[in-house]
Amino acid sequence: MTEDGHGIPYLREVVVFLAAAGVVVPVFHRLRISPVLGFLVVGLAIGPNGLGGLVGEVPWIRNLVITELEGVRQIAELGVVFLLFTIGLELSPRRLFSMRLAVFGLGGAAVAACAGVLGLAAWLLGHSVAAASVIGLALALSSTAIAMPLLAERRQQSGPLGRTAFAILLFQDLAVVPILILISVLGGTEPEQSVWAIFQSIGEAVLIIAAIGVLGRFALRPALRSAARVGPELFMAVVLLVVLGTAMATAAVGLSMALGAFLAGLLIAESEYRFEVEVDIEPFKGLFLGLFFIGVGMGVDGTTFVQMPLAILGGVLILFLAKALVIGLLVRAFGQPWPVALEVGLLLGQAGEFGLVAIGLAADARILPRAEAQMVLLVVGLSLMATPLVAIVGRRLASRLAGREALQRAAAAAVDAPAGAYVILAGFGRVGRTLAAAFDAEKIDYVALDLDPAVAEAARARGQRVHFGDAGRGEVLRHAGADNCQAIVVTLDDPRAAERAVRAARRRWPGLPVFARARDVAHAKRLMQLGATEVIPETLEPSLQLAGRVMARLGMREETVTERLAVLRDAWSGRLHE
């Protein structure tokens, strides 16, 4: 039994979090404010430094607040894991290779320059060289968990802003292990052991990443294919196993769990299961990220802030200004326009969640005195809380700098959709393949969805853009590109699956043309009632073509045959609208 009288660890914390989420998300959505800011404020309010600190005086509020951070932080780390996994899904190994200059060039330069500037500032303020080095490196890293959701809310993660920010954040994640090793070295480890530890950690990291790549290449697709054939429950279980298993593997060699999850996302990104996996994992990512942000809010110690508010607020301001200036200038030097450079700089101006870990370890190793470490931790926490507001300021400043016309061009370029006509095929059976052949002949771009993993895999082996996914789920259609496509064509064999697909498409995209194949007139009527733009019974055209051939063979003129068939088509159409 736990101290709360039940046998489930952290149950009360989870219940409090779910209750907070049920209040925060709708209210902040209605106010058009980022839920990230809402979770941070809730964490500050219900945590041990807020109302949670009053439990001793007001015992009845115990079940309404969270008094211990440890459980929340352990669960909340999964939020960052699932976030990096979904980011990996949106990339691919080829696309990542094409970003190598941005990741290692811009990202490396940003980390080095920010660490140098912030470390120098800490040294000038009186810290030792060792302490200043740790402070500079810890504050140089930004928060993926806050920056990427803010970009996703505005659908900018695929544009120049999102790609540039992600390149810097990815290199920062790779820099975590060297920083941890440096802290252990400065904490008093023997030099020979330190050098050996560095080479050993690098070797273990290379081996585990290579092992993940090999296993993913040869074992991942068969596992997902087998699970998809059994049912959605087993498919979900296998996906969770892949995410958490790779995260544990990288954590075992000292890398971040988030990096392992990112590698897992990359492995699935080019498979036919990508869209279905994205939709299945989305709720887990959202819930755990919300818990992560609440944990960040709880970590802000109001007592220390009251004692020296000007110094701490000044530290937050200096942090944002220094990082925004350094990152902005580097982004501009790497070829991005000034509006993008300005917005990226402000978006990544905060210190990241790893800063909390690094400063805590430095305090444990006596590199930093406890009082000074608490002050730096407060600067980190407040910078995380300020980021949603700073991002809004950055967006407005970038808009003014770009000008209305240039901003519209940038927004159009940020849409990650194919050029020209773009159609979604719901179903890739006999009819779907025929339509795909016709689209290929006319060079009409399309993405197809099918619930048979064997069909999807065989089509992708032929070079066709076919994914495993349920077209009856609006989120799957959205990931397939329904926000930007010109039409959805439903060719599913199963009548109920076709009805679910039409219903999902019409509910989310009321103005989008939806064409559907029906089994018979009754089925066609149901599809029309659900909102299909046009429905063709599968027996209609073959029957009319056969009738036309017979009439022509019996000596009827071509014009007469065409006229008779048009009358019959109109009659069928009239029956559908009765």
Q: Is the pLDDT of residue 214 over 50?
A: yes
Q: Is the pLDDT of residue 3 over 70?
A: no
Q: Is the pLDDT of residue 195 over 60?
A: no
Q: Is the pLDDT of residue 481 over 80?
A: yes
Other Cβ atoms within 10 Å of 3 Cβ, number: 7
Give the mean model confidence (pLDDT) for residues 445-464.
84
Q: What is the pLDDT of residue 406?
A: 41
Token reading at 7: 């046998």
DSSP states of 247-289: HHHHHHTTS-HHHHHHHHHHHHHTSTTHHHHHHHHHHHHHHHH
The winner for highest mean pLDDT among 231-235, 302-306, 363-367 is: 231-235
Kindly indicate the confidence band of residue 112, based on its pLDDT and cuts at 50, 70 and 90: very high
Q: Is the pLDDT of residue 27 over 80?
A: no
Kindly indicate the confidence band of residue 326, based on its pLDDT and cuts at 50, 70 and 90: very high
Q: What is the pLDDT of residue 434?
A: 86
**Residue count of the chain:** 578
Q: How far apart are CA 249 and CA 260, in angstroms?
A: 7
Report the share of the chain in percent with pLDDT over 70.
Answer: 79
Secondary structure letter of residue 373 according to DSSP: H
Report the share of the chain in percent with pLDDT over 90.
Answer: 9
Q: What is the pLDDT of residue 488?
A: 93
Angle at 219 between CA 213 and CA 220, to 5 degrees: 80
Which residues touch 449 (CB under 8 Å, ≥6 apart)? 275, 424, 425, 426, 427, 428, 466, 467, 468, 469, 470, 471, 476, 477, 480
Q: Is the pLDDT of residue 168 over 50?
A: yes
Tell me: the pLDDT tens digits for 456-474?
A: 878 888 888 888 888 888 8
The lowest-confidence range among 415-424, 480-489, 544-553 is 415-424
Q: What is the pLDDT of residue 155?
A: 67
The lowest-confidence range among 77-81, 362-366, 417-421, 501-505 is 417-421
The lowest-confidence range among 119-123, 285-289, 363-367, 530-534 is 285-289
Residue 109, classed as helix, strand or coil, is helix
Q: What is the pLDDT of residue 1?
A: 44
Q: Is the pLDDT of residue 242 over 80?
A: yes
Q: What is the pLDDT of residue 400?
A: 75
Other Cβ atoms within 10 Å of 560 Cβ, number: 12
Kindly indicate the confidence band of residue 405, based on its pLDDT and cuts at 50, 70 and 90: very low
The winner for highest mean pLDDT among 242-256, 406-420, 478-492, 551-565 is: 478-492
Domains in the chain, start-ordered, CATH in brackets?
Answer: 11-410 (1.20.1530.20), 422-538 (3.40.50.720)
Q: What is the pLDDT of residue 381?
A: 80
Q: What is the pLDDT of residue 472?
A: 87
Q: Is the pLDDT of residue 414 over 50?
A: no
Q: What is the pLDDT of residue 111?
A: 92
Q: What is the pLDDT of residue 410?
A: 40
Which residues touch 568 (CB under 8 Å, ≥6 apart)? 544, 547
Q: What is the pLDDT of residue 145?
A: 74
Q: Is the pLDDT of residue 576 over 60?
A: no
Q: Is the pLDDT of residue 487 over 50?
A: yes
300 Rama class: left (phi>0) / alpha (psi -120 to 50) / beta: beta
Q: Is the pLDDT of residue 105 over 50?
A: yes
Q: What is the pLDDT of residue 117?
A: 93
